[in-house]
Homo-oligomer: A and B are copies of this chain.
């Protein structure tokens, strides 16, 4: 049953909260895109802009936190609205972490470029593109309150893990066959891990949206491929 707000400005405040999250999400998407581009094109300037850009996402996360706390204090919401505010707190934290990982990706790209090494980045970039799609879809799902789309993201995490394992295996094979690549490949290993974790956070956002709309977590275990990595 839909609650009718007698004071319209409360709806506006909830919309404002959602708006900040939408902005954060857009920034995090853009940061991941730019980080992957900086890696693929060996673009130092772009990488540095990504690193510097993370502070803005952190700022918005703090804004969500304090705005949510104010809303809770002043409006004392019930039920659905309460879950929406708590959901916003959760999702904001997830997006903030995605931003961190994107900035870390860019930092490592800088290190690789400065060492003057041409690294085999194609696998990592492909993995990044796959996760970028997941992130975009889950953020769309959040804005549209589209649970079906969110659950679609949730189930695609397994594909990410499969590609991640393949990328890891390739890098280990490379390092074993050519020890001269170890330092570079180590960076790529961590970049792949960062990207895989962004995929995890996209899945977390899907779960948080499920909880926000239905009040429960998605049924059954979360689909996870084995990502311990390395030869088994």
Q: How far is the CA of A182 from the CA of B69 in the complex (A)?
A: 49
Q: How many copies does the complex hold?
A: 2
Within 8 A of B (CB), among A183-214: 183, 186-187, 189-190, 193
Interface of A is mostly: helix
A114-156: CB near B (< 8 Å → 1, else 0) gives 1100000000000000000000000000000000000000000
Q: How far is the CA of A228 from the CA of B111 in the complex (A)?
A: 8
Q: Is A107 an interface residue (CB 8 A)?
A: yes
Q: Does A172 contact B (CB under 8 A)?
A: yes
Interface pick from A11-19, A33-41, A72-80, A157-165:
A72-80
Q: Which residue in chain B gives the minimum CB-CB distance to A174?
A: B182
Interface residues on A, range: 35 or more
Q: Give chain B residues whose Cβ lies under 8 Å from the Cβ of A83.
A: 69
Chain B residues with CB below 8 A from A114, complex form: 232
Which listed residue, B73, B93, B183, touches A82 by the CB 8 Å rule?
B73
Chain B residues in 8 Å Cβ range of A77: 73
User: Does any Cβ of B come within 8 Å of A60's Cβ?
Assistant: no
Pick from B175, B179, B186: contact of A229, CB under 8 Å = B186
Residue from B65, B176, B183 within 8 A of A230 (CB atoms): B183
Measured between C-beta atoms, what is the minimum distance from A191 to chain B in Å?
A: 11
A179: chain B residues at CB < 8 Å are 175-176, 179, 182
* CB pair A190 B229 closer than 8 Å: yes
- Is the CB–CB distance between B69 and A82 below 8 Å? yes
The complex places the Cα of A72 from the Cα of B62 at a distance, in Å, of 20
Q: Report if A49 contacts B (CB, 8 A).
A: no
Interface residue from B65, B79, B89, B186 paired with A73 (Cβ < 8 Å): B79
The 16 listed contacts between A and B (C-beta, < 8 Å) are A65-B86, A69-B82, A69-B83, A73-B77, A73-B78, A73-B82, A89-B89, A111-B228, A114-B232, A172-B186, A175-B182, A176-B179, A179-B182, A183-B231, A186-B229, A186-B230
